Chain A
């Protein structure tokens, strides 16, 4: 009976939504993020968690994390994440002779792209009205538990604007304006199928299964009272919404079609009664995925304006996540406070092309395929109603959190806040 009930509960969750774990470099929480995982409910069989995260003030952090260049702009618009200007003329380069887009570019054969002609500055606003996170955890013997996670996202890009930098004094300027940039959004949609307006997308992310072994090692020392070790292995299934190649900057809600394996290890040290510090390392390897993607076909192309869409195999780079935290644990009844520093680094992705018309070397120079990093600070306030193991129904656990992204490379960082609540039975 219990087994049937458990299956039913899992099925309900699966029906509601699906996974978590996206790797587009945006600093939204994944539901299995150790910073917001509820405290293990020892002695319980099931723990159900639901969370909400909302984000605001999303901004782009470009390629120069260390601000070596004077031109680096810290608070860039999200659509300037990869390049401040987008090159509409380069968009049509690299296409085979005689193709529709090659012929289109051939009309601009006098002065071509001088660094201003055909260049546009995109701006837009990215909102995350909701990042809903669901999980169900089952506690097995031997301090092992299994969890299934599924996020549901509502994300919106709006107020998209393309500022044309093309002059109006040379014949080629007017030709470019007339044929391309004066009615840029419609022309690009007509020629490439790429919609350069805003959008609102919602859907699930990748479904993730996690197995965890968590063990406490009490310490008979004056200061160090307990060492908690946890080892996790997760597998993420590609159930999430994929990149919409025909929408502007419509990033995936998961690993864009890739199955991922996510090993992790964490160490928690408790000093005295209430002070805990710890760290956690998580790696993610995403297996190759095959799908139609927009690719870079010319070295001058900019990442929001890729006209070529072909079948590709994507070889994902590793993702590393490091967390360091300090915590005042249950210093007043079940109330705990925690501050975390989180660093995530994703290594270069690589594309393999199912076409001989394009150069894979050029395709792999896309800025969006290169390494990205994110730095963030996370604040948590949690309350565990079962702090004294009194028999509160469902042993509720509440976490109110906030995250501030403060640096990064090729990443969208925002400020987010949210809460989770879990019940254990």
Chain B
């Protein structure tokens, strides 16, 4: 069996095991994975350093930072955490088959691993004690019969090569770089010169070929001359200060100690990240990224990732010239890439130009047309993508950028919103970088704003033509704390992560899990299933207007409404002046009221459970929020019976000058819920700055409240859209959802998607007829728009944004997801995405097959739900990874998530906690999540 076939078999086996486990998973909540330690809060008795993630088989590999002292633990020098078990598998036993010789002593046993990489899902390792060669753990399916291969000592790139001083980075191509190379795995190693440092003459990229022959029975390493391709030439391709791909005009002054190797499997190209310091001079400069590829004669060719002409100053992200380089360098600390859901390729770079730039991440478009002479280079950012179709039946083949940036105007700049991942800097230096789908994840150890470290993410925002136009602000994802390495199991949404007090004491590996979370029991007890359970979920972040900004006093809140009842749970607070999620026993720290008031309340509670009073008139409460205006802040909730506000009898709310503080300090015992307006059947409540909007089944209404109005019960409403308007009127039509941002509104109705006129701010409209609602035509649409999921930058709809639109028809039992771009500068500001299956017919991103009631996405995972339908249980499933326009039948590969809620009848919506980063989902079962 060839190595490739064997690898594929192993993948199938592991995936099967994974699925089996997930279906049967008996326990819930984030778990500590077991390493050599099987009890307690640590996984390993020794510190961990390197890690790698195999996306295909969903294995998370971790390696020892230092030599392991105890014999019992030495087999865990490299171990693998898979999706199928909470036990990490030890991959470095004392005895292995090494280079085809059975019962050999394992050179990796108990060794510190300097560099860890992957080749087709198999670990590559460089030992701290012998960094001149690397090892491939070829077969680890059976821990008792592990086979390893080692390279000879790798030579440097000198004219007369000598043994390298050490390998500092590794990566590999999963398959041969071209079709005629199938059967060969290419591995790339950044090697130091003999007795010198990385970047000095003689540094280079060594090429190793792992060749299977004899019908997969024999494996050998070949270390060719990487420059010429000569077999067993054992010479690295030079990459140093004088490499033309690195310097501009004149050789750079130096290349510093870091190197990042990234193999783009889709493009089959190697990207090398460097830390470059050019020499001074107006035309002198350098590039921090070098492009590499394997030539037809099986040599490694290194090319500039962008021509000199495209780099003019110090804002070109991966290159600079003419700068004062004493003040900083051109750095690519880490590299990754994404193949977007719009079918374009981007290079992700952590770094940039200057100092203290480890908290910056950029995205650069790549030329991805294989026939282009610029293939793999940074693309001209001004070009329109080229869509290519089959000739006979014009079905979509791919979308391509064809031309490289050749001048500064075409080159992405640090100020470009399209390039600036997160729209700005991360709250701390990037510890580890991970990409998936349309999303960039980064972990941060410490922050500069008194927050816990953790995993953050930013999602790409696209134009209708598929190009990235902006990024969502960095938000929390997955886990909080000191995360030294992580990966997303994209199939189920779990995070693997390594945690410890410092980089030298990382001894714990955890995995988040779908299922019950810390507050599940509490929520279920407060909102029992027979009363409908939790009927909504509102995340109120710590930086909400009206909340205290005083360090030590901050809080974040989850609002969980139910039948005639609302829970306010403080889920985040300052601990030692560091803000983060809290874990407390809410059952002993809850203020309860059954008359809709805060009578006898005094600050000091972690949760409020308020029922009765005006809430009885609301009945099922489904939504809510926090509204602040003129020094008064209010909790507002809404549901089938209308809207209620928590306020004093004189109409005042909590004081927003001092701000609502931890343990709900700022609320008064005199407050009670007061029903306002005569609206009924409220579907959504939107708080846009200082304006409140309510979507009911038949109206979109703006609500104006002041303390006086509340005191006199004269709250004003202004109808902005009425189902009886000519635009919507069809017998029995209705509204389902709306998104309003910066006064611009998008309305989901049973007769289609509508937007308000750009020139009218809904916050200022005085009469309904001032608003013109315009229909957005989506090809092949059911026009049954039920949910709108906006994806925006910090500027919201004031700048380019994106919408995910759930088009779900109850009567026909069908659902589709469309996308639209928002460009407020255009006369037609809402433009359906050019998601294509057939030429010239923009259509849906994905058809979901059957009806679904909620959709949520972070660009990496896409979640859909359906409440119990007849005898069919509730559905919570993840659409297949790498959801992409133009790919048919994607929904058939959806993965059902078992939340262990067998008796449930209702599920959704899904909301991400801004405090913990966890996805949360509510239903009649209460609350579940991934944490």
Contact = CB atoms under 8 A, between A and B. Distances in A.
A92 interface: yes
A94 B811 contact: yes
Contacts of B812: 93-97, 102
Contacts of B563: 169-170
Interface residues of A, number: 36
Interface string B729-748: 01111101000000000000
Contacts of B808: 109
Contacts of A95: 811-812
Contacts of A175: 640, 681, 697
B930 interface: no
Interface string B826-861: 000000000000000000000000010100000000
Given A93-B813, A169-B530, A169-B620, A107 B906 contact: no
Interface residues of B, number: 43
Central interface residue in A94, A99, A102, A171, by most chain B CB within 10 Å: A171
Contacts, number: 123
A362 to B, nearest CB: 11
A174 interface: yes
Given A97-B783, A171-B640, A102 B811 contact: yes
B625 interface: no
Interface stretch (B23-31, B657-665, B868-876): B868-876
Interface stretch (A11-19, A112-120, A138-146): A112-120
Interface string B784-824: 10100000000000000000000011111100000000000
A100 interface: yes
B870 A103 contact: no
B213 to A, nearest CB: 56
Central interface residue in A97, A99, A113, by most chain B CB within 10 Å: A97
Interface SS majority for chain A: loop
B730 A170 contact: no
A281 interface: no
A167 interface: yes
A106 B784 contact: yes
Nearest to A102: B811
A115 B810 contact: no
A109 B731 contact: no
Contacts of B813: 93, 298
Interface in A69-127: 92-116
B731 A103 contact: yes
A92 B811 contact: yes
Contacts of A172: 906
Interface in A48-72: none
A130 to B, nearest CB: 41
B750 A106 contact: yes
Nearest to B752: A98
Contacts of B924: 170
Contact of A110 (B530, B732, B853, B869): B853
B743 to A, nearest CB: 27
B398 interface: no
A99 B871 CA distance: 27
A100 B783 contact: no
Contacts of A171: 535, 619-620, 622, 639-640, 681
A173 B641 CA distance: 12
Contact of A102 (B531, B535, B622, B809): B809
Contact of B734 (A106, A115, A170, A178): A106
A108 B681 CA distance: 12
Nearest to A97: B782
Contacts of A103: 730-734, 750-751
A214 interface: no
A300 interface: yes
B619 A111 contact: no
Nearest to A93: B811
A418 to B, nearest CB: 43
B89 to A, nearest CB: 43
B511 interface: no
A174 B869 CA distance: 17
Central interface residue in B736, B750, B908, by most chain A CB within 10 Å: B750
Contact of B906 (A99, A109, A114): A114
B906 A111 contact: yes
Contacts of B730: 98, 100, 103
Given A107-B732, A112-B851, A169-B563, A98 B868 contact: no
A93 B867 CA distance: 17
What 10 pairs between A and B have smallest CB-CB spacing? A169-B532, A106-B750, A103-B732, A102-B811, A104-B732, A171-B620, A170-B532, A111-B867, A114-B868, A171-B640
Given A93-B812, A97-B812, A102-B784, 14 more contacts: A93-B813, A95-B811, A97-B783, A103-B733, A106-B810, A107-B732, A107-B734, A110-B853, A111-B867, A111-B905, A112-B851, A114-B906, A169-B620, A172-B906
Interface of A: 92-116, 167, 169-175, 178, 298, 300
16 contacts: A98-B730, A101-B811, A102-B810, A103-B733, A106-B786, A109-B784, A110-B867, A115-B870, A167-B532, A171-B535, A171-B619, A171-B639, A174-B641, A175-B640, A175-B697, A298-B813
